[in-house]
Amino acid sequence: MSEPAIRIRGLSKTYGQHRAVDGLDLDVRCGEVFALLGPNGAGKTTTVEVLEGFRDRDAGEVSVLGTDPQGAPLAWRERIGIVLQSSGGLDLLTPREVLRTTARCYRQPREVDEVLTRTGLQEKADERISGLSGGQRRRLDVALGIVGRPELLFLDEPTTGFDPQARRDFWGLIRDLASDGTTILLTTHYLDEAEHLADRVGVIAAGRLLALDTPAALGGRQSQEATVSWEEDGVRRSLRTATPTAELLALAARFPGEVPELTVTRPSLEDTYLALIAPHVSGESAQVPA
């Protein structure tokens, strides 16, 4: 098996008396989209900043693309792309100007016109950034993150503030990048985003990994009881069962045609996530990096 893109063993980071990351172990495979989920104060931001080489750790072993990010050389930095939650100070420039300048920092950058097209900015390429919408600015953030042709892309809350259509469009861009073989580490508070984009998700709280699996299987979702609901005699009825098919057959035998208002649901990713973090969420979050 190939070496993982990210390998973490026993990662710890403390701020004063608060342990933000507490012995975290995690692997992210090459070529996968991995979503890191957790409440505010869980340790997500600290973990990602350590992986990006922006923050030193107190203990543990970390390898990102085969290199320890703590003190990594410039050649390593050219292999990663980073999309922060927000960026500024570029309003008087155009997307084309900013991308051309950034591309010069890399030895094998993508063509600027290609990046503009892939991020949907070709029609705004020569307009000042001050005139871009929030969604277009976010696309520019991604364009800056991918112009260097990174092997690994960090996305920190990439669609915060997007309207539903803009979010869906952005998801298409991320899927395109993943199909090209780019490894993507994503942090998000949108559970539907994680479910649509991620090959696997990890849930952390109090600096520890609580669960790790595909979105469909996280926390045993596939094996949990289903809820079967229907209308009968003017009343909405529901039952939970481990054998929904058998219940559907029984209902079909009781009704001459379609079972009225029939639905079959299992716990959503959000339900599972909230159940996992519930023991770790109480009161206000500590005032430390997330």
Domain extents for the chain? 1-79+187-223+267-290, 225-265
pLDDT of res. 142:
87
pLDDT of res. 149:
92
Least confident range from 31-40, 47-56, 215-224: namely: 215-224
Q: CB within 8 A of 270, min separation 6: which ones?
A: 191
Alpha-carbon distance of 38 to 190, in angstroms, equals 11
- In the DSSP assignment, the letter for residue 286 is P
For the chain, where are the alpha helices, taking DSSP H only?
A: 44-52, 74-77, 95-103, 112-118, 134-146, 164-179, 191-197, 244-254, 269-277
Task: Please say if the pLDDT value at position 163 is more than 90.
Answer: no
% of the chain surpassing 90 pLDDT: 63
pLDDT of res. 289:
45
Task: Please say if the pLDDT value at position 283 is more than 70.
Answer: no
CA–CA–CA angle 61, 62, 65 (5° rounding): 145
pLDDT of res. 86:
67
List the beta bridge partners of residue 208: 205
Q: How confident is the model at residue 54 (pLDDT cuts 50, 70, 90)?
A: very high
Alpha-carbon distance of 58 to 28, in angstroms, equals 21
Q: Which residue shows structure tokens 């950058």?
A: 109
Handedness of CA 121, 124, 127, 129 (dihedral sign): negative
Alpha-carbon distance of 207 to 110, in angstroms, equals 36
Alpha-carbon distance of 288 to 285, in angstroms, equals 8
State the chain's mean pLDDT as an integer: 90
Q: How confident is the model at residue 232 (pLDDT cuts 50, 70, 90)?
A: very high
Span 236-252, mean pLDDT?
91
Q: How many CB atoms within 10 Å of residue 257?
A: 6
Tokens found for residue 51: 């992986």
Q: What are φ and ψ of residue 56, in 5° steps?
A: -80, 145
Task: Please say if the pLDDT value at position 272 is more than 80.
Answer: yes
pLDDT of res. 202:
97
CA–CA–CA angle 145, 176, 84 (5° rounding): 25
**Angstrom distances, CA of residue 279 to CA of 32, 36, 124, 240:** 29, 18, 47, 24
Q: Which CATH number fits domain 1-79+187-223+267-290: 3.40.640.10, 3.50.50.60, 1.10.8.50, 3.40.50.300?
A: 3.40.50.300
Alpha-carbon distance of 272 to 269, in angstroms, equals 5
Span 112-129, mean pLDDT?
92
Tokens found for residue 92: 């008087």
pLDDT of res. 243:
87
pLDDT of res. 224:
78
Alpha-carbon distance of 149 to 131, in angstroms, equals 27
pLDDT higher at 173 or 21? 21
